[in-house]
Amino acid sequence: MVAATPVSLEEYLSTSYDPDCEYAEGRVLDRHVGEFNHSFLQVAICVALREFGLRAYTELRCQVKPARFRVPDVLALARGEKRERRYMTSTPYIVVEILSPPDAVSGLRDTVGGLREKIDDYIELGIPNIWTVDPDAQTFTIHRHREAHSFTDRITTSDGAIALDPIDIFRRMTEDEAQ
């Protein structure tokens, strides 16, 4: 849902939304709220990235333009990169967006096409590793410039320094569902 009245950047940054919202040129933008698998994947991806020595965070505000903030599901800093203030203003090393399940009321679900504007913001900011995760298809998709490539087995960062195993991550998600 978009705010009916414009909200200043200062008001957005000083307001706590539950769940946190994104901000685009005076509009507060709602985000899909994750469910069990969404939350599980956020944690699993953060843990995997931390095992490589990265500082990974969930749902951290990231300033992508002077008057635009996104809240990726997972954001990771490059090794040695220092934390900033309350939110990210520099270019992160990795952002991950996890597709949400269909909305119970509308039946609509996140799609990669629906995330296009966010992905474009991340590309314009120069983020070297932009990934979307589809829990239903059990794929990770890498986005670079205007290209997207989906993977079910091994996903690596643009510099080859980090490699994740989606098969293992999704196997653990399926085990979590069965418990």
With the C-alpha atoms ordered 53, 68, 131, 16, is the resulting torsion angle positive or negative?
A: positive
- pTM comes to 0.86
d(CA 62, CA 74): 11
Predicted pLDDT at 111: 59
- The pLDDT of residue 108 is 45
Would you state the pLDDT for residue 110? 62
pLDDT of residue 3: 53
Architecture of the domain spanning 33-178 = Alpha-Beta Complex (3.90)
pLDDT tens, residue order, the chain (179 aa): 445 568 999 999 888 887 788 898 888 887 776 688 899 999 999 999 999 999 999 999 999 999 999 999 999 999 888 887 788 999 999 999 999 866 544 444 565 566 888 999 999 999 999 999 999 999 999 998 888 999 999 999 999 999 999 999 999 999 988 88
Peptide bond into 6 cis (omega under 30): no
How crowded is residue 164: how many other Cβ atoms within 10 Å of its Cβ?
20
66, 121 Cβ separation under 8 angstroms: no
Q: How far apart are CA 10 and CA 55, in angstroms?
A: 27
